Structure 1
Amino acid sequence: MLLFIPLQAYLGKKTSVLRLRTALRTDERVRMMNEIISGIQVIKMYAWELPFETMVAYARKKEINAIRHVSYIRGILLSFIIFLTRVSIFLSLVGYVLLGTFLTPEVAFLITAYYNILRTTMTVFFPQGISQMAETLVSIKRVEKYMQSDETDVSDKSVDWPLETPGSNQATVYGETEEDLDEVEDKLLPSPLPMPVPMPLGKINENAVLSEAGIAINGLKAKWDVNSPDYTLNCVNLRVQPGTMLGIVGRTGSGKSSLMQAILGELRSESGEIKVNGTISYASQEPWLFSGTVRQNILFGQPMDRRRYTKVVKKCALERDFDLLPYKDKTIVGERGASLSGGQKARISLARAVYRETSIYLLDDPLSAVDTHVARHLFEQCMRGYLRERIVILATHQLQFLQQADQIVIMDKGQVSAVGTYESLRDSGVDFASMLNEEAREEQTEERSRSRSGSQVDQRRNSEISLVSVTDSVLDAGADQMVSQERQTQGRIGLGLYNKYFKAGGGFFAFFVMMAFCVLSQVLASLGDYFLSYWVTKKGNDAVLASSNAENDTTIQSPMLENRLSHWLTEQGLPVDAEMLDTYIFTLITVLTIVVTVARSFLFFNLAMKASISLHNSMFHGISRAAMFFFNTNPSGRILNRFSKDMGQVDEILPAVMMDVIQIFLALAGIVIVIAIVNPLFLIPTVVLGIIFYQLRTFYLKTSRDVKRMEAITRSPVYSHLAASLTGLSTIRAFGAQRVLEAEFDNYQDMHSSAFYMFISTSRAFGYWLDCFCVIYIAIITLSFFVYPPANGGDVGLAITQAMGMTGMVQWGMRQSAELENTMTAVERVVEYEDIEPEGELEAANPAKKPPKSWPAEGKIIFDELSLRYVPDPKAEYVLKSLNFVIQPREKVGIVGRTGAGKSSLINALFRLSYNEGSILIDKRDTNVMGLHDLRSKISIIPQEPVLFSGTMRYNLDPFDEYKDEKLWRSLEEVKLKEVVADLPSGLQSKITEGGTNFSVGQRQLVCLARAILRENRILVMDEATANVDPQTDGLIQTTIRNKFKDCTVLTIAHRLHTIMDSDKVLVMDAGRVVEFGTPYELLTLSDTKVFHGMVKQTGQATYETLLKVAQKAFEDAQKQSRRLSS
């Protein structure tokens, strides 16, 4: 037995190496799943479910290959339970006999009892300890590596001006104390995210703060990638005086956001220095909201000052939104603001920054997500009004506001190319007209509602205001029904679930083959035990016969089987001594036991790995086919929980536990049979013990099963909270909220730990009572031999050793069988996601409903009594209401309307992302009856949220590998990204980081435009396609679109009115209805409702006249073209 210790140690070390490899591959798969869940809407619009399913299956296959090796090692270690003790007994007894020593029952069962005492420790606990220690070391090393990572230099303490530490980035916060943690007054609803530390600015002299506040940047060099030779910011010099409004402008990717991140301390400086004196408030380019109420997102933990709160809401143009939201500012926004539009999220993010009274405000492009008149309101009333005495640093593409800035910084390729006032820069030769790109120079007038994407941002639909109330039932006055409660299954695990598991592992044939080997393994093991008793009894009889022969001087042969077998072998020409034949038989049985047991383990774990692969792929297929309603009502953390923790249990915990249960059940059956053969009366206490254990197990499972489910459910908020916090790290740190978020994480972790501790406690109590009854059972068996003496000593030894082995085994078996049922809840949760109702067929099963490859040839779109809702309940409120209009082939249609008017919902209806009633006909074919891929693959989309996935640039452009590199380069050139990609180390094969974070938001949008150019479809939808790019790039893109898609039907959700004034038609929406539809010129001059006319008028008289001329010229050109064609 000691000889196996080096082997077990080697296997443990090997397990450690394989476990690390497994962890890395699991991380890769979970990261991939996080990206897919975040970008699921874009994946569906592009009809990319299948390539992503293939990619996930490949990642899963690599992960399973690593897990399989660990499982095989675990199978060998489990096999030791069966044969290691028996091999030790075999070697000891055979050696004893070969040395010529006479074997007696006392010696044999003394050796057997000794090894049985060691069996559990050496074959169960010792290998388990080695394996678990190896896994613990891997986990500790991973945690250690993480803990040793460089930490940010962001400080949460205020400092005196000037800072003396060169090269440090300091963002300072006043008055952050432990007592501040208790000053959260807004507790109308419990928030999933606790509120951060309030900044009691009123305790100090505010005028002193303002007079001393300032920013100085000297020779700053910084880069995000320390391995990159190029600097993100290069030799930046800047000084911002108190009370200054600084505008930062520049082309897409010029370094505007990076400069703000450097001021915040998020971007570490390589050289130079940043000095910041004063407290900082920050509104990020990608609005970050947590799943609390609107009010909680604005207050962000600060005390409620009703007067200031009302003023900030007004200055941030949120009053009308509050009136339309179902519970006003107590409406829960959903995870990452899923129930709000992009404009609403941006204004709430801005309101949060403004409500916090600080001396410095960093506002990263908040005006891009709102209408022009709202943008003007925010700029004049909020930034130049409410914040007039503070430092305001505004990064923007809205260049028309630059004239009112005190100072302007022009960024270019990470450098400050010019600094000064509007007049001084203009006089020095800066061509603002060129920057504004003529029409963009005018007031930019249309909503630029966009939801931004980051490395962890959940890609959700931008639902309208009316969508917040989506069902009739609500939880309470502050509850929002957008996020559903996670369902907790009740009751015992049914046989159907085991059936699904083994079916996933290869079907019933594979199961029966595996079980046949399991049974054969136990038969051989029990046969070895029985033969040992037989052999020892025979030796005892031989001793009696030998004594009798000596006394009577006679020879009497033992009438044993071996003598007859020895005689038969001698007749066959194979003379074998009868004494040695016992040794040969015992050897054969032991060798067969080893071979069959190891083969059994390999077969079982191979079946388990197949089941894991099948269950995972089925679960992924289930969620990839789910409707968007599922993703809108289930937080990403909840979904990831199934793919990480639950799947991990199915991969590694469940097979080991199930193998244990099968092995123990068969071993118990063998023991009971052997005991029954020795003395049938022993079955009575055995049956009684079995009944008691079963009742204990039933009682225990009633509690432990639901506690295990509770543990799984309390785990989901931990994932959700962590994902949300990671997404908003820069905002959290800017507001000094780290400690409170850590406290909230601890709260969620404590809830989960409490459930887990309860589960462990119930398990320990169960084990205690099992121990008590096992001691009683052994006492009964032992005392029975005093009452009823046996016929021979072999039976006594066999019965007692088997009983001792059985009690330990029954105890462990009861625990493991209970653990099996508890672990099967993970399978239950995985299977639950397999059965999600799909959104529709990907490909039409009926050939008659499948459109030809050339469809659509023209691009005519007819909306016929179309209504749309976002929930499956037919009684739910409709967001689009009875739309009727026709878009002619090759028409360019601009779609405009206020936030919440239904513009994005119109796109959802076209792609069938929600629940449509009525019909949409494209080239006379009803889109409701065709397959989703048949429809979506024929419509190009430049989505509102620019999503890139980790992988190569080529994969992001062409996941199906349909196009040659030349065509990909050409598409990148047309969107002005060819130079950017060519400068990357590997060109098209260069790696994209998670979420595309190594590209700016605008560059990500250009990649999406390149995708649309590649697809060459007859219908193009642009949902805020150029919302994230500078005006000059926007002009280039507009030219590209006019040239590349001149023969296509183009639907544009407008963000700048000048981009749609030369459209063939404009569709004006309000509250889910079409209020105007016609040419821009007709709507400006002849419309009775004058909605569009009013929108243009709001931009100012000069802009109105300019846009009217553009519309008139386009109208006249269209008339001339029509007359020319008719003649």
Structure 2
Amino acid sequence: MASFNTPEYCRLRSDAPDQSINGQAQNSHQVNLPVKTPTVRYVPNSGWSRYKSAFQTLIPFRRTRSDVLVLPIDKVGFFSYITFSWLFNTVHQTDVTEIPSSSPLDSCDINGQRLHHIFREEALHTGQKELRMFTVFWRFVRTRTLAAAIIHMLGIIFNINAIVIFMKKLLTSKNNEEALIWTSGIVLSQILSALLLIVSLLGTDGQKIYDAVFYGTHVIVSPIVFLYSVLSILFFISDKTKLVNILISMFPYILTYLLLYMLVRLGGYVSSRGNILCRQRVALVHEMLTHIRSVKMTLWENVLSRHLKGTRQKELKFLWRQYFCDGFSKLLLNVIPVMAVLLYLFTIGEQDISKVILLIALFCGFMRDSLYSFWYGYKKILEALPSLERFKNIMMLVEVKKFTEKPINRYIAINIDSANFTWDNLETHNRKEKKNKKQPMNSLFELSTLTGNDNRLPALRDISFHAPKGKLIGVCGIGKSGKTSLLLAILGHLHQTYGQVLRDGSCAYVGQRPWIWNATIQENILFKEPFNKMRYYECLLNCCLTEDINTFPHNDGTQIDEMSLPPGQKQRIALARALYANRDIYLLDNPLSLVDADMAASIFEKSILIALKNRTVVLATRHIQFLTRCDEIYILDRGEIIASGTHEMLLKDCPPYSSIIKAYTHENSKKYFIETNRHNSSTTSMTTFLSQHIDLQSSSSTHSIELGEDENVCRGESSKHCDILPNYGDNLDAIDLNRYGPLRAYVSFLNSGSTYFIVILGLMALVISTLCLFSMPVIIINFQKIQNHFQIILMALLFIMLFAGFIWSFMFMKVVIGVSQRTHNSWFEKLCRAPVGYFQASTAMMFVLNLFSLDIHDLDYTLPSTLSQLLHNTSLLLCLVSIVLYLSPYCVIVLLFTVMITLLWLARKHRKCILKLYAIEVGSRAPLYQHVSNTVTGRTYIQAFAKEKEFIADFTKHCDNNITCTFLLSAANLWLAFRIRVIGALTVGIVAVVLILTEPVNWFESSNKTWICGLTLVIVVQVGQCLHRIMQAGCESTASLNLFAESSQCIQGIQSEQQKIKIRSNKPLPANWPTDGSIVFENVKTGPLPHTSQVLDGMSFKIESGQKI
């Protein structure tokens, strides 16, 4: 259970006097008072006291006023809890712009602690190899799931009793007064059933796992409801002596349970195969975005487009098979009731009117709903199982080893004795290799392969390394010698197989590839540390960032995700972050490799030699000018330390060191160029022109993947050239859908006349199939007239329903897959035509990845499901109203009045609120995904600076915001469901009264009144459920269509690059190209890009074959 502890005092910093970066004591004017931070801690408890907060909900009325900024779900009374009246004050009466925070008992913090506690208990009990995440999550939700299942089952049983007992008494009553009494019993039973059904759906736990918990109880309840229905038929409707005949009539339902189980398993297998191709497709998009400059320069867009379309085509084949499994399952759900009625009449030949009507109500109502609930719940559980396995893989990750033991010699900061390090455990890799033989490479594996990381081989062998306190230690070596691995081993990121590692002091880390997270420049430098004005500006001055910050739009308050910084600036910001951290040990991996020579020398002098003169610094570099200033140098070769000593000693006694120096001097003799006077003229040299107008640094990768290799990177950075390129899709945030409606956006991809014909044919088949299902009442009423041909008519009806259902399923699948395929190809082709500047912003990359993963998934699964449900229930409602009009025209007035109240009174304000909540929920995902992406890519920095708790707290905040939106969406839907069910129950009562007090219409004068009353009531009972499904599916489909329209408009709003460079001939390239290739510019002029000053004005030059520029 959760318990609020007494407020704890968290000290902002240590008691030691504040030191500036140069090591001298400074008097700080900042007053550091203790901050009270109330925390929530999970305390395991097996007694009844853990249900104290849940039992308080049973109090009928509670007048405790809660904070308006927190959901009052834990402070409301029982009646407000079950009717969701608290939601009206929270959401409906106010403008939904700011969502209140979740309850502390429902936050990710306390529930994460509880889940982690259960995971550890299960791991200790069964072992890690035998651990099953399904068992862990079942223990996590067991009590609430069983309680929800019991309440849900009781609600359905009350509903069945309302039909079997009260309706039977109503149909067999001999006077109107008695009939009115039983009518009130039906109404009360319906309302009580609605209460119990709604209360059973109160729970939130995550997306797929949340759906599995939300609908998984149906797998338990559905068979029990089926058995109770069979017992009701046996004891209340049919004769007990006809048990065998009843079981024969139940055979289609029993067989359907087995068929649905097999179809769900088959659909799950097909879906898993499709998900593999989906991950492969998204990985390809990610690789393209990562290396977009290389793709554009080598004209690989067409090659990648063909590859991506081929992968998408294979994925759609599995999607087609999954749609077929789902469509066939839904068709079975519609056909089975007709088959059961047919078998029952064949075997028993029932003639009692009241019994036949009750059987139709059970067969076509509760028993059919139990089948659908079983199928849908089991499907959601199967979809959640892969998510549970991925969750287990994350929980089983080996955590970074914290070196808490200190060296015996207190003057030593780092002491490594004869240690071996590997990137991973061999056993883990063997399992991964077996899995990768059957599965394609995911994005992370492809990325690591692309960058050259080979984690399977031992990284470091027999390492003996000593770093005294206050010394500058250099680490040198050729490419892939193990410099980066040594620094990461000191941080604890490598698996230690032998030896000893001792460390005394806190660490700061600067990687070879700088990591910048999505925040302001100041927040990147502070990195969750308290602000100290003097120390902050000293860091900016030492890292030469003052002039750069003055050129930014909002100085150091500029959001870095809105712009694209050159790698040199990112590296200096990362170095400033390390300086500001004020740590004991600094691990620097080529910290100035992307900065030009003059600025690098200045920063090295100010930052490393002066500001960090009393700190331990381990510097991995190949720069001669830096190695000569080190107190001691270690030389690495193929993961081993081959020599150590001062610069002079190594030059004299170590030939490999001399070779490294000579190779470095030769490589860099052509790498740097310094030009004091730069002129923007068309007559300048090509070198001058390139140095002025082309930023060669921005083509390097921005991912924080530390490589054990020093790459040849062009070093030419200027603080005046920031390359702040805007997002070309300026309409990403402001979308005007008034001109371009969501439905029109979806229909726009139905761009062929044959497609419209298929849509019309599919809708006609859907209406025919629904009419066949609900034309049974008409046939039953005329039972006496067609008694000799009754079975033949029902069999023909069954055949027509099957044929129309197959046509509807096939046409719907064809339309949906066609739209999905055309949409995906259109989006990717538009993306390939986007200019390179669009991809420089990190928000653009996140938008594109979400577009081709989440939005495409929504287009493939969510939108077709909601549209199918909306169309099916709309046709069902029209058929119900038509049949009621045929049976009793007086009752249609009551039904129309009910529909008008539901659509105008409830839906009018509820729909706007629901759509706003959907928009806020979608908007709450972006910060969550962005934070997770930043955390994963920057985990080395986060762990090095010991900022795990701060980033976990940020994740909890973002996750709570998203979960609160999800909970409010579910609560809003249940708020509507309860009121529609109450209106439906009152409608049943009013219709029953109308049927009792009126006489049948003229065309039913020869028919029995009991037939008409019973069939009309059975149909009217379905109207309330149908209205609720229409409202829910309508809101969900509208929200999905809005998201689809916004995504389409965003991707179409990206400015296309100007394709003025054309190939004059379609002939194939010669075999010797590009050996004899040449480039010619003749009076080239380019207009300025927005917010940039890059202009070519009459540029003319020629590069001959074989020339090197």
Aligned to 2:265: 13
Q: Counterpart of 2:470?
A: 243
**Distance of aligned partners of 1:484 and 1:592 in 2 relative to their CA distance in 1, 3 Å threshold:** closer
Which one of 403, 414, 420 corresponds to residue 628 of structure 2?
403
Contact 1:286–1:451 under 8 Å retained in 2: no
Q: Please say which of residues 668-677 and 593-602 is displaced more in the overlay.
A: 593-602
Q: Does 1:721 align with 2:931?
A: yes
**For the Cα contact (< 8 Å) 2:460–2:639, is it kept in 1?**
yes
Contact 2:516 2:524 in 1 (8 A): yes
**Structure 1 equivalent of residue 181 of structure 2:** none
Q: Is the 8 A contact 2:884 2:1019 kept in 1?
A: yes
- Is the CA contact (8 Å cut-off) linking 1:364 and 1:395 kept in structure 2? yes
Q: Secondary structure at the match of 2:519?
A: coil
Moved more, 219-228 or 845-854: 845-854
The two structures have a TM-score, normalised by structure 1, of 0.65
> Aligned pair 1:161/2:370, yes or no?
no
What's 1:1076 paired with? none
- The Cα shift of 1:239 comes to 1.7
Say if 2:424 and 2:456, in contact at 8 Å, map to a contact too.
Answer: no
- Quote the Cα distance in structure 2 between the aligned partners of 1:219 and 1:414: 11
Q: What is the CA-CA distance between 1:761 and the residue it aligns to? A: 2.4
What corresponds to 2:609 in structure 1? 384
Q: Which amino acid aligns with 1:610?
A: G
Equivalent in the alignment of 2:327: 75
Residue 283 (structure 1) shift: 0.4
SS in 1 for 2:878: helix
For residues 220-299 of structure 1, the aligned pairs below 5 Å read 220-223=420-423, 226=426, 227=429, 230-299=457-526
Cα distance change, pair 668–724 in 1 and its aligned pair in 2 (3 A): same
- Residues 265-414 of structure 1 mapped to structure 2, 5 A cutoff: 265-334=492-561, 338-414=563-639
SS of the residue corresponding to residue 408 of structure 1 reads strand
Q: Equivalent of 1:214, from 414, 431, 435? A: 414
Match in the other structure for 2:892: 683
Distance change >3 Å, CA 464–CA 653, structure 1 → 2? farther
1:826 to 1040, 1043, 1053: 1043
Give the match's secondary structure for 1:215.
strand
Distance 1:291-1:654 versus aligned 2 partners, 3 A rule: same
Taking a change above 3 Å as real, the CA distance of residues 849 and 52 of structure 1, as seen in their structure-2 partners, is closer
Cα 1:457/1:503, change in 2 over 3 Å = farther
Q: Supply the AA of the counterpart residue of 1:692.
A: I
Tell me by how many angstroms 1:882 deviates: 5.7
Q: Deviations over 1:863-895 (max 9, x none)?
A: 6565533x3xxxx4x4225655543433xxxxx
Q: Distance in 1 between matches of 2:921 and 2:510?
A: 37
Structure 2 distance, partners of 1:467, 1:668, is 65
d(CA) in 2 for partners of 1:50 and 1:632? 21
What's the CA shift for 1:842? 5.5
Matched, 1:796 2:1013: yes
Bigger radius of gyration, 1 or 2? 1
Q: What CA distance in whole angstroms lies between the structure 1 residues aligned with 2:818 and 2:390? A: 28
Q: Which amino acid letter does the alignment assign opposite residue 618 of structure 1?
A: S
1:221/1:234 contact within 8 Å kept: yes
Q: Which runs of 5+ in 2 are unaligned?
A: 1-252, 430-454, 675-695, 707-712
Shift of the 463–126 alpha-carbon distance from structure 1 to 2, 3 Å rule, reads farther
Q: How does 1:159-198 map to 2 (within 5 A)?
A: 159-161=405-407
- Give the whole-Å Cα distance in 2 for the aligned partners of 1:704 and 1:268: 50
Structure 2 counterpart of 1:730, from 932, 940, 951 = 940
Amino acid at match of 1:127: W
AA aligned opposite 2:262: Y
Q: Using the TM superposition, give the Cα deviation of residue 109 of structure 1 relative to its aligned residue in structure 2, in angstroms.
A: 0.9
Match of 2:922 in 1: 712
| Structure 2 equivalent of residue 571 of structure 1 | none
Separation (CA, whole Å) in 2 of partners of 1:72 and 1:152: 47
Structure 1: distance between partners of 2:377 and 2:953 = 34
The reply on whether 1:585 has 2:793 as its aligned counterpart is yes
Question: Which residue pairs with 2:41 in the alignment?
Answer: none
Contact 2:592–2:600 (CA under 8 A) maintained in structure 1: yes
Aligned to 1:647: 856
> What TM-score comes out, normalization by structure 2 length?
0.66
Per-residue CA deviation, residues 203-239 of structure 1 (Å, 9 max, x unaligned), is: xxxxx98x35233242323235844774222222222
Q: 1:693 aligns with which of 858, 879, 902?
A: 902
- Contact residue 109 and residue 797 of structure 1 kept, 8 A: yes
Query: For residue 1107 of structure 1, what is the aligned residue in structure 2?
Result: none
Distance 2:256 2:768 in 1: 24
Secondary structure in 2 aligned to 1:285? coil
**Alpha-carbon distance in 2 for matches of 1:522, 1:144:** 44
Counterparts in 2 of 1:40 and 1:850: CA distance versus 1, 3 Å: same
Partner of 1:835: 1052
- Residue 105 of structure 1: which of 353, 365, 369 is its match? 353
Q: In the superposition, relative to structure 1, how do residues 146 and 858 fare at CA in structure 2: closer, same or farther (>3 Å)?
A: closer
1:61 & 1:823 partners in 2: Cα distance?
Answer: 23
Question: Aligned to 2:1079, which of 859, 869, 887?
Answer: 859
CA distance 1:582–1:845, change in 2 (3 Å): farther
Letter in 1 for 2:461: N
**Secondary structure at 1:783's aligned position in 2?**
helix
Structure 1 letter corresponding to 2:1041: M
- 1:901-1050 matches, within 5 Å, as 1047-1048=1106-1107, 1050=1108
> Given the alignment of the two structures, is residue 28 of structure 1 paired with residue 280 of structure 2, yes or no?
yes
Measure the CA separation in 1 of the matches of 2:668 and 2:359: 96
Taking the TM superposition and a 5 Å limit, the aligned residue runs for 1:806-825 are 806-825=1023-1042
* Aligned counterpart, 1:868: 1088
Give, in angstroms, the shift of residue 111 of structure 1: 1.1
Q: Structure 2 residue aligned with 1:141, among 384, 389, 394? A: 389
Residue 488 of structure 1 and its aligned partner are, at CA, apart by 5.4
2:770 to 513, 518, 522: 522
- Deviation of 1:345 after TM superposition, in Å, equals 1.0
Q: Deviations over 1:413-467 (max 9, x none)?
A: 22222211112212214265542335458797558956752667899x9997667
CA distance in 2, matches of 1:518, 1:446: 73
Q: Is the 8 A contact 2:729 2:1054 kept in 1?
A: no
TM-aligned CA deviation for residue 767 of structure 1: 1.5
Q: Name the amino acid aligned to 2:942.
A: I
Native 8 Å contact 2:1086 2:1095 kept in 1: yes
- What count of residue pairs does the alignment treat as equivalent? 787
**1:624–1:886 distance in 2 versus 1, CA, 3 Å:** closer
CA contact (8 A) 1:224 1:232 kept: no
Q: In structure 2, do the counterparts of structure 1 residues 761 and 110 end up closer, same or farther at CA, with 3 Å as the change threshold?
A: closer
The answer on whether the counterparts of 1:282 and 1:731 sit within 8 Å (CA) in structure 2 is: yes
Residue type of the alignment partner of 1:161: P
Tell me the distance in 1 between the aligned counterparts of 2:639 and 2:753: 55
Cα distance between partner residues in 1 of 2:626 and 2:398: 40
Partner of residue 487 from structure 1, selected from 719, 728, 734: 734
- Pair 63,55 (structure 1): closer, same or farther in 2 beyond 3 Å: same
Report the Cα distance in structure 2 between the residues aligned to 1:744 and 1:824, rounded to whole angstroms.
31
Measure the CA separation in 2 of the matches of 1:367 and 1:504: 58
Cα distance change, pair 9–812 in 1 and its aligned pair in 2 (3 A): same
Root mean square deviation of aligned Cα = 3.5
Tell me the distance in 1 between the aligned counterparts of 2:1019 and 2:997.
Answer: 19
Q: Is the 8 A contact 2:417 2:463 kept in 1?
A: yes
- TM-superposed deviation, 1:744: 0.9
Residue 71 of structure 1 and its aligned partner are, at CA, apart by 2.4
Distance 1:851 1:823, change over 3 A: same
Q: Secondary structure at the match of 1:2?
A: helix
1:746 to 935, 941, 956: 956
Does the 8 A contact of 1:293 with 1:330 survive in 2? Answer: yes
Judge conservation of contact 1:220–1:274 (CA < 8 Å) in 2: no
Deviations 1:976-1030 (A, max 9, x none): xxxxxxxxxxxxxxxxxxxxxxxxxxxxxxxxxxxxxxxxxx5xxxxxxxxxxxx
